[in-house]
Structures are given as structure tokens and as C-alpha cells.
A and B are shown apart, each in its own frame.
Chain A
Amino acid sequence: MTLIKTRVILPFIVLLLFTAGAGIPADTAGGQSITMLAATDLHAQEIQKPDQTVSHDQEKKPEPSKTLYQVMGVVLIIWAGIAFFLFRLDRRVAKLENQVKIK
């Protein structure tokens, strides 16, 4: 019975947690305000290619902000939880499979 419940609930729990973490918007729009985007394609979001005349020092990307690391940390922690859950479930199923075969 527990096995059936786990089977039904598994995808929802695992993935809901994952998106909950991934969906946390980093409130750091690269120093610029977030504007209403009514663009119809990603062209508007295309990265500005560095000017060819710019020196190598100026071409360096800006350092990611602290918030970005925090959000990534949260997402990685959530993933660690999901991975642990999946790993444990996988092992339990493997164990049960072996037991059933033995009997």
C-alpha cells in the first residue's frame, strides 16, 4: 500500500520541490530594472556581443551577485534532497526486487 502511494505521489513531490527552488527569481537583473517584456521572441533578450575593439580586460563578464549564489545554493540543496530521496527509493526497490526473486 505504501508502495502504491509512493508511486502516485512521487513525481509530484519530487518535481514540485524542484521547481519551487528553481523558480525563485534572483532579484538581480544585472543592475538594471526589470521592464515589461512584450517581445515576441528571444531576439530582444539576445546578449550584446562584446565590441571587437574592446580590450580583453573590458570583455570580462561582470561577477555574479551574492543573491545569485544564494539562489543557486537553495536550488542545489533542494536537488540534494530530491537526489537522496530518489537514491534511497531506488535502493529500496532493488532490495525488494531481490527479496521477491529469492522467495
Chain B
Amino acid sequence: MISTVKATKPIRAVGGFFAMALDTLVLIPRRPFAWREFLSQSWFVARVSLLPALMLALPFTVLLVFTFNIVLIEFGAADYSGTGAAFGTVTQLGPIVTVLVVAGAGATSMCADLGARTIREELDAMRVMGIDPIQALVVPRVLAATLIAVLLSSVVILVGLVGGFIFSVFVQHVTPGAFAGGMTIITHLADVVIALIKAGLFGLAAGLIACYKGISVGGGPAGVGNAVNETVVYTFVALFAINIIASAVGIEATL
């Protein structure tokens, strides 16, 4: 009853993805929970993502602050430089930069690892032994990606704000007290909470997409390379799609 027409292949892929996502969410509370796998995957994602995320946050934030300040200095409103920096970094750049790196680094490794196991038929062997590969492998990876995205986004926001502060004060000669005082004018606790929720959603989506592409790979080693490429593309597309919806909802919620 599953269509074999070639044109429906992408639709079947989307259906398969939602089926696996539903399986994963249902299996999260089921015991035994794969604690060791969860911790080792969390540590792995954090290890490969921390430094690149911080190094990516700095140019993005500095460019944002630089562009904003040109306008504000022209108005004579340079004191509000902190306002723009805080709003942009907390609501947009923090979650986006975090997930660019978590998806680019962590998700690709998850996909490659699961893909290599699939083409070696290790997942089939696990099923024969009665271990559900989704419960043993996919659930810990998805939860690890979500957790690390949330934790990392706060570090990224902090580093971004510090970088913006140093650039504004020492290069564009903004008053430091005004920068620091202006940061909380339009950015409140609700915005920070929404940013963390966004980062969690992005991490969840990245983990699910990476694991799905990993366990549905086919065509040998070249297929794994292809699957990794598609993981990166689909994760970034999903990230930006979720971002615009979450931003619109967040703006209405905090208005």
C-alpha cells in the first residue's frame, strides 16, 4: 500500500520522518533509558560545538553592532547601541548561531555515525537481538542535541554581548555606561526565555533530522556522504523556517 511511484519519493521521506519523530517522542519516557549513550553524546556535541559557536558568535555580533551603530551615530542616538545589540543577539543571533554550529558539527556526526551503522547492517542486527535502535540510539542523540543547544545558546548570547560591548566602546566610542544601561530597555526576561525555547526547538529539529537521515541511508558509503550533505541542508532550512514562526509568535507574546 506504500506507493512505489518515483515522484512520490520525497513525500514518502517526509512521512517516514514524521513517523520516526513520533516513535522517538513516544519512546522517551520508556525504560530503560540509555543514560550512558545520552551523556556521551551530550559531551561529544558540546565538545565539537563550543569553540566554533563562540568563534562564530563574535563576527556575527560585531557585524550586527557595527551596522546598527552607523545608523544610530548618524541620528545622534549612539547611547541606544546597547539596546539594538541586546535585542538582536538575544532574540535572533544567539539561537541561530548555536544551531548553525550544533547542526553543522553535531548533527553531521550523528548522521554519519548512524549512517555507517546502517550500511554495515548493525541496526538490523540490533533489531534481531530485540533492541529497538530508536530507543537505544536515536532518543539519546535527539535529547543530547536539544540539551546542548539550550545550554550553548546562553553562552553564545553572553559572548556575543561582550564582543559587541568591546567593539562599540573601544572602536566606535560609544559610552560604556549607556551601552550597559540600554541593554534591558526592550529586551526582557520573556525574550530570554523565548530565545532558550527557540534554541531547544532548533536542537530538537536538528537531532531528529540527522537521526532520520542516518537510519534511512542507502547506497553504500557514497550514500552516507549524500545523507550528511542533505542533513546539513534540511537542518538549516528547518532552522530558519522555525525561526521565523517562533519570532513572530514571540513578538506577539511579548508585545
Q: Do A and B make up one complex?
A: no
A residues near B, CB below 8 A? none
Taking beta carbons and an 8 Å cutoff, which residues of B are in contact with A? none
